[in-house]
Every structure is written in C-alpha cells, then in structure tokens.
Amino acid sequence: MSCSLKAGFPVSVSDETIIKNRPIGYFGVCPSIVNLQFAHSKSREFMGKPIQFSDQKFFSNRNAKASRHIPTHYAQASICISRGLRWWEKTLMPNMIEIHSAQELVGSLLNAGDRLVIIDFYSPGCGGCKALHPKICQLAESNPDAIFLKVNYEELKTMCHSLHIHVLPFFRFYRGAEGKLCSFSCTNATIKKFKDALAKYGTERCCLGPAKGLEDSELMALASTGQISRKLQPNFTKGDNEKEESVLKEIILSSKETKMGFKEGNAVLMA
C-alpha cells in the first residue's frame, strides 16, 4: 500500500509494518526518514481529502526534540577545548600576584606593611623575561614572606611609561615606610644582581610609619592621566611649596619622556 506522509514524500510500506515498528511519541515517523531532504509531492490529498501542513515547522520541532537526547558528555567534548598555560602563568607561587591596573599596584604596595615587595615588569614577547621566569618562581618559593607583583608591560603600557620603565625584564624592590629600595634590570646571565638584592633587603626589619609605596611624583603622574584615584595622590601643605614645585617638574619631564616614547612607537628594550 502506498501513502503520503506529512513530510510530503512518498513511502511504500505496509500498514502492518507501520503499526509494528512505529516509535512511541513520534507520530509513526521512522528516525531515518527525518534525515531525508524535503521532496515536495505534487499530491496534496490523502485518501481523497485535502490536507494542510508545514514541513519545516514539523521537522524543526522534531530535530529540537532529538537534540535534547544528546548525551551530556558528547556536548561537553564538542565545546571544551583545552588551553595550555602561557609561559608567564606557569609555576606561579602563592606569593606571586598579577597586577591589572595602576590602582591595584598602588593599593598592593600600601597594604603590604613591612613585607618586602618586588615588582616584576615583563612582556609576553620578551625572550629574556621568558627565560628568567622559572628562576624568579624558584626564588619566590624560597622567600614566601616576600610579595612578588607581576606587571605585564603590554597590558599596562601607559602606567609603565609613567613609572619610567623602558627596559625589560625590570625589577623594583619596596619595603614599608622606606619606600623604593632599589631598581634594576637583569637577565639569566646577571641573576646574581637579583639574588644579592634579595639577600640585602629580604631580612625582616621593622619600619616605623605606614608603607610609602610609589614616589610622590609617580603618584601625581598616574593621577594626572586618570590611572589612579585623586585620593591617592600626595597632599601638600603650605610649607611644602618647594617640594610641590620639584614634583611638578618631575611630572613635566616624565610626561615629555612618555610622549617621546609613544612617538617612537612605544619601543621598549628587551633583553
């Protein structure tokens, strides 16, 4: 017996076969039929009576129902793509913190108390930074009381220009009320420079007064460009006019250097 299903294509099957093999809940449509392309039949009648139907709506609903039965692990496997850690994310220690803004850097220095803080300026494309990274992680592990702040030059280029960072890798040491202790650039070949600074400033000491953090001129430079809140810039009294003038001069000089750096294509020396 020949009949035309709602999908609009002829199928030659017997009534007995349809009754026996009809899947429950799918209106007697065999799953293999769903995968067939639409073949519109010229006949729009069934047993002499006109019928109306919507092919696309029926099959879109059918496919939607079928998709709900896809196993979860198959769906997860299709969208889950494993990504290996980038080199600056590998072997990080708990006392190594990634900095994402100037505000975060200033706050981390002010909240460090008497602990030694080391700022590590690096760039993802710097070969010297990549080679030195494993050793810095080892030194961070052997000095758990120190805080290592990692600053991505490419992500915070404007801030790095304001802090006069023009060579990579570059390091700065800070501690409590003493503020900045030293700053230098080193590579694998000159790692002794880093170890010597760590041995010199890594010993516990008591610093009277709150943590100083960045220099006043650096804070004002960051505030003038909107990178930090105005509340964090230094407040000068009437007796500090000379100090304020010197700070403003430093900011003018730093802004000129920053503009020159941008004009030169934001070039930075990488070891």
Per-residue tens of pLDDT for the chain, all 271 residues: 444 444 444 444 444 444 445 544 444 444 444 444 444 444 455 556 565 554 554 444 555 454 455 455 444 444 443 457 899 999 899 999 999 999 999 999 999 999 999 999 999 999 999 999 999 999 999 999 999 999 999 999 999 999 999 999 999 999 999 999 999 999 999 999 999 999 999 887 766 788 999 999 999 999 988 999 876 666 555 455 555 555 444 544 444 444 444 444 456 788 7
Integer angstrom CA distances of residue 227 from 44, 151, 184, 218: 71, 15, 24, 11
In whole angstroms, how far apart are CA 104 and each of 42, 69, 95, 173, 179? Answer: 72, 47, 15, 17, 17
* pTM flag (> 0.95): no
pLDDT value at residue 127: 95
Residues 93 and 141: beta-carbon distance below 8 Å: yes
Which pLDDT value is given to residue 1?
45
CA atoms within 13 A on the CB side of 80: 6
Q: Which residues are catalytic?
A: 126, 129
pLDDT at position 71: 54
Domains of the chain with CATH codes? 2-79 (no CATH), 92-270 (3.40.30.10)
Cβ atoms of residues 218 and 255 within 8 Å: no
Q: What is the pLDDT of residue 52?
A: 57
